[in-house]
Structure 1
């Protein structure tokens, strides 16, 4: 997952005519960019790339008289209210939400075969209609609508407009059902407000899974009533010795609620049996020798382990999983399982054999880091692969064999998807144990072909983890996630046939004014033809 001692070498088709045109004017990798080429038309600048784009003639203009209509009530109306809330500050318009009568923007739930998250957006002189089979599809269609409007629509003060939505039709649905991002709140703690801010950024790019790394050697971040010292003591510090922090159950529920309102599912992780020093320091009985180690604020890994032979270890696991599962309505619970260097292989297998059924007992599906495939993955379990392009053949073969026997895969190759890797040697933040990961490297690979031999059906999606040994503020998150996060989202959402670096880099560049409007501080990679400031 994040060994700090390993070193590695530093080392399609295009979506229609619109994206081919948008790809003109490429720059030399690593060089200072030349003058930016003309920006693509609004329909051609959407990230992630839609499945199908058909340009139309006349645009729709949002005006003071525009009404937003969502037929019926419930979830569809809540998406309409969300859209109105987004548009009101910058337009200054009332944008009332109604369930009947004429409207300039309509959200329609239909039985058409869009899938659970797909949608169709049609825009013309008379209005905009977003049609979907489920509310999640309406929400994703709203994110596309945002990108069809000028970037100033993201401002929180009134702007002059005009607010034109390009005419045409977009029909869209995701390639993968699992499109995730992970935030490590253990190395450095982030408040509820900070997590909500990240959720909003993820939602813009149709990411639907928020993986929260809630425990590690440096901090325990969730209250557990049956083991109160885990949070009160184990959560009292962080990397570098700061004050740390933890989420009360009410705060965690608020994160879950807010994520759900943006159609993200929270995937909580309690890392076991290694990466457990915060727990071991909190309760001496979890240690084989009965002696609690001191709290830890460094960044080394692999030195801690729960005591596999003790009954109390499984009482602890049962209590923590039971309480966390009760707080989490989502399908998954992540049990970690990586870098258990202080646990013998035999003990590791024993531990996983005993803990995976606990997860099932409380109604959740197991996710583990790909080392889980070295044990006996439970039926239906998902393994999250974090190896590198040059990870050894034996380790990759172990993962592929598990996939061939039914274990699903989430792909997070560290030298492609880890958002905490440095962009270049001069990047102030981040690490380089997996190599340097510039924007093109993070985008230019195919999840469906990454692990030869793994059945295509075994790849459930992708996830971009952000470990926080060097990341402590909102600005730090922004800088490491942008511009790489949208590329990870596109790998998860867009059809393989749309994958083209030359087209993507121009669409990515067109996102910059939107990030400026949202206050996102991003890395201006020389590989991307950014517009002039």
Structure 2
């Protein structure tokens, strides 16, 4: 079985070979050896009994590649295998959490994880050294030559995330799982699931059925090329609680945490249309509905006891579905106009000595933080939750550049860096004119974000001291879905920029090199093509 990439690697030695291994993200330490290991469809898996789930997923992946399912046995079973990959765990290994070692010699392949996550990441690395699914090489039935190599690897950041907006456009469960598969392939470990919006409420809440009966549906959407227009087509959908449990379990098995986002106090029109008493119903012209246009809209939750009871009830059900330590409350783009017009809110401001709408938002967020704290969860929100004063234990996701993250870290708050300047994958990945020349369906919200700019990002701002930098939990890219009418468009915008994010999130800063990354990316592009993923062209010219 011949494979051109691996054949060329075997002809190399030393640093050149290390630099050329088609691995993304680039490992922390990699050293090539002599010879190669013969991998074939007969190669089995011998695993530590604590890694049964990881071994099962790895076996399924190998079956997808080779067409035949490898035999998988525990270490205790005295069953001879023609050749084997050992999957082990060593909690005493000199590695951080999520770390692993991969040793390939002519006789053995051993993956040893610091923990189960590390063992799983080691299997992702090994998969990248094999030909992709449907490669003609697998039909030869001859051994694939895996180059001898010693890898010691671990992630730079604990939070390596992707956000997908299902509020503006609803995507099927099968698509969400496909997305999770790709997060796992890239060693990303947080799926930030944006579930509620002005344009749609996407999660079943049993105590409040109108949220999905009313809030999950809108009468129309703007078509591509006409941002203020209407396609006249009803759009919607939601995830049942059983579907949510299924998706969470699917992600958890792949060492991915699902962080749900339930937007408040703004971006709440769909919920308020479902239960109008949740909004500022004491203002003139009050007529909430599920919004049919994009942008920022005025309907915000009223800061009343009824609203906080509703939020408590919703989070009771949300927390039962999501084991995530963090619950995202949004907090961005909340207009203060309705609060300014509401006699009820003006009374609250006098009572609580709140001087303006920013103080009202801070009051609101602090109340929500207490609700989550009683449920044993931590609040995370976009950097607008700083307005009027940040909640005591809140974590900030900084999207309007880095300032919100810098200021929060300096104040002792944890942060996730997610700036729109480098990590908004809803921006054009090629010059706008070139994109639209391919069709209106390539429309994006705006901006220009080539893969090289994504790759250039360093999540630790220079303005932070080493002590302050410890508050940077990690990094996350966003896929807002105004201009993603279907899932192939999501894929087209996400890939291959997700590969650049993966290296930003995992690889030590000093080991990053865009030209080398671009060379290694060719192997990942073959993976995308083999599994039928839509993706952009990484070699588009600069604007």
TM interval, short-chain normalised: 0.7 to 0.9
Select the residue among 501, 504, 509 that pairs with 1:488: 501
Question: Alpha carbons of 1:256 and 1:19: their partners in 2 closer, same or farther (altered >3 Å)?
Answer: farther
Question: What stretches of structure 1 of length at least 5 have no aligned partner?
Answer: 1-16, 22-39, 390-395, 529-533
Looking at both structures, which has the greater relative contact order when contacts are Cα pairs under 8 Å and sequence separation is at least 6? 1
Q: Distance in 1 between matches of 2:240 and 2:166?
A: 14
1:305 match: 300
1:321 match: 315
TM-score w.r.t. length of structure 2 = 0.84
Q: Distance in 2 between matches of 1:104 and 1:86?
A: 15
1:173 match: 154
Select the residue among 247, 254, 274 that pairs with 1:255: 247
Q: Distance in 2 between matches of 1:324 and 1:296?
A: 24
Q: Distance in 2 between matches of 1:341 and 1:71?
A: 54
Q: Distance in 2 between matches of 1:249 and 1:284?
A: 24
Question: Would the aligned equivalents of 1:90 and 1:152 in 2 still touch at CA under 8 Å?
Answer: yes
Q: Secondary structure at the match of 2:87?
A: strand
Select the residue among 425, 444, 458 that pairs with 1:431: 444
2:342 match: none
2:535 match: 522
Q: Distance in 1 between matches of 2:151 and 2:167?
A: 40
The reply on whether 1:385 has 2:398 as its aligned counterpart is yes
Question: Would the aligned equivalents of 2:175 and 2:487 in 1 still touch at CA under 8 Å?
Answer: yes
Q: Distance in 2 between matches of 1:155 and 1:222?
A: 43
2:362 match: 349
1:419 match: 425
The structural deviation recorded for 1:480 is 0.3
**Counterparts of 1:432-451 in structure 2 under 5 Å?**
432-433=445-446, 435-449=447-461
Q: Distance in 2 between matches of 1:231 and 1:335?
A: 19
4+ residue stretches of structure 1 with deviation over 6 A? Answer: 17-20, 40-43, 153-157
Q: Secondary structure at the match of 2:157?
A: coil
Select the residue among 78, 81, 87 that pairs with 1:107: 87
Q: Distance in 2 between matches of 1:469 and 1:19?
A: 48
Question: What stretches of structure 2 of length at least 5 have no aligned partner?
Answer: 1-11, 223-232, 340-356, 437-441
1:33 match: none
The structural deviation recorded for 1:77 is 1.6
Question: Would the aligned equivalents of 1:443 and 1:491 in 2 still touch at CA under 8 Å?
Answer: yes
The structural deviation recorded for 1:453 is 6.2
The structural deviation recorded for 1:135 is 0.8
Q: Secondary structure at the match of 1:326?
A: helix
Question: Alpha carbons of 1:295 and 1:188: their partners in 2 closer, same or farther (altered >3 Å)?
Answer: same
Question: Alpha carbons of 1:487 and 1:89: their partners in 2 closer, same or farther (altered >3 Å)?
Answer: closer
The structural deviation recorded for 1:164 is 2.6
1:95 match: 70
Question: Would the aligned equivalents of 1:400 and 1:453 in 2 still touch at CA under 8 Å?
Answer: no
Q: Secondary structure at the match of 2:470?
A: helix
* Aligned length, in residue pairs: 483
The structural deviation recorded for 1:44 is 2.2
Question: Alpha carbons of 1:154 and 1:212: their partners in 2 closer, same or farther (altered >3 Å)?
Answer: farther
Q: Secondary structure at the match of 1:56?
A: strand
Q: RMSD value over aligned CA atoms?
A: 2.4
Q: Distance in 1 between matches of 2:62 and 2:305?
A: 56
Question: Would the aligned equivalents of 1:267 and 1:333 in 2 still touch at CA under 8 Å?
Answer: yes
Q: Distance in 2 between matches of 1:354 and 1:432?
A: 34
The reply on whether 1:210 has 2:191 as its aligned counterpart is yes
Q: Distance in 2 between matches of 1:122 and 1:359?
A: 44
